[in-house]
A and B are shown apart, each in its own frame.
Chain A
């Protein structure tokens, strides 16, 4: 499938371009050993139902793996990002970077001048 690179926003995968799922994946990609359901829920400020819904979507897309185990006779759900998920998320981030850079170029020069010069240097570096 070829994607139109003239419009970079079309490269953004809708699966990840949802604020809560973006938060979930950002947390998971930093957690090498995965995160428990409760850690993820609290870290992303989500309700149980919301998190469950998003995780189901991500699991069906083979982006996350959900393991249910018993620790001290209590059930524990651990969520981790899959290798394929990490690949796709990395591609999404690259596309997001392209979109942001395009947006940055589209800002008129007089508006850029209002930004401290150090910030602009960091962006255009």
Chain B
């Protein structure tokens, strides 16, 4: 009898834990916007690899900056729309906390990029961006689907490869374009599936 009671209590505790995990899940990001960011990265690689593009590092840096701005506008625009108009968000700042938690690694990425550019170490940029963007996925391990953490690991592994091998040559846009396309497209699909499961 006691074993049965304990079993019942344990299953109730687990159910409550599942309820809390579901409640903590963050649905502010748009899967479509994220996948679009991946497509923009791939398109950026196509444009930058064309023979008409100047092959200087500064031209490539400008090209990737444009890609970054478009991706940021798409993703944070979707987040802002969710915050302002979705009844779930209710314009409560606390609901944005998972997105706020991602700011420190992004800020570090910005500072490191600036430092590397200032010292002319362009070839370290791809690896640094991938590793730090992969790190952004860590704070989301409890609030986004678990597989999203796997996407973060993918970025970190690719970043390490770019940092440690000649793949990270800055004037070759393909490693960056392909890695971000795969990462963002799969991340976008995960987010979309997560939203659909949550009944949105």
Interface residues of A (CB under 8 A from B): 26, 29-30, 32, 83, 86, 89-90, 93-94, 96-97, 100-101, 103-104, 107, 111-112, 114-115, 119-120, 122-123
Which among A29, A111, A112, A122 is the interface contact of B23 at CB below 8 angstroms? A29
Q: A residues within 8 A CB of B20?
A: 29, 86, 89-90, 93
> Distance in Å from the Cβ of B23 to the closest Cβ of chain A?
6
Q: Is the CB of B13 within 8 A of A123?
A: no
Residue of B2, B16, B23 with highest tally of chain A CB at under 10 A: B16
Q: Taking the complex as formed, is B62 at the interface, i.e. its CB lies under 8 A from any CB of chain A?
A: no
Which among A26, A89, A97, A120 is the interface contact of B14 at CB below 8 angstroms? A97
Q: Taking the complex as formed, is B118 at the interface, i.e. its CB lies under 8 A from any CB of chain A?
A: no
Q: Is the CB of B23 within 8 A of A115?
A: no
Q: Taking the complex as formed, is B88 at the interface, i.e. its CB lies under 8 A from any CB of chain A?
A: yes
> Distance in Å from the Cβ of B186 to the closest Cβ of chain A?
28
Q: Is the CB of B14 within 8 A of A115?
A: no
Complex Cα–Cα for A111 and B16 (A): 28
- Residues of B1-24 whose CB lies within 8 A of A: 2-4, 6-7, 9-11, 13-14, 16-17, 19-20, 23-24
Q: Is the CB of A111 within 8 A of B6?
A: no
Which among B7, B13, B17, B97 is the interface contact of A119 at CB below 8 angstroms? B7
Q: A residues within 8 A CB of B19?
A: 29-30
Known: A93-B13, A115-B7, A119-B4. 20 other contacts (CB 8 A): A29-B23, A30-B19, A83-B94, A90-B17, A90-B20, A93-B16, A93-B20, A94-B17, A96-B9, A97-B10, A100-B6, A100-B10, A100-B13, A101-B10, A111-B2, A112-B3, A115-B4, A119-B7, A122-B11, A123-B6
Complex Cα–Cα for A34 and B192 (A): 26
Are A114 and B23 also in contact (CB < 8 A) when A83-B97, A93-B16, A100-B10 are?
A: no
Are A97 and B4 also in contact (CB < 8 A) when A29-B19, A32-B88, A86-B23 are?
A: no
Are A96 and B6 also in contact (CB < 8 A) when A30-B19, A83-B94 are?
A: no
Q: Select from chain A the residue with minimum beta-carbon distance to B4.
A: A115
- 10 cross-chain pairs, A with B, having the tightest CB-CB distances, nearest first: A115-B3, A30-B19, A100-B10, A104-B6, A97-B13, A123-B7, A119-B7, A90-B20, A107-B3, A93-B17
Complex Cα–Cα for A74 and B8 (A): 41
Q: B residues within 8 A CB of A29?
A: 16, 19-20, 23
Complex Cα–Cα for A93 and B2 (A): 20
> Distance in Å from the Cβ of B3 to the closest Cβ of chain A?
4
Q: A residues within 8 A CB of B7?
A: 104, 115, 119, 122-123
Q: B residues within 8 A CB of A89?
A: 20
Complex Cα–Cα for A120 and B6 (A): 11
Q: Select from chain A the residue with minimum beta-carbon distance to B9.
A: A100
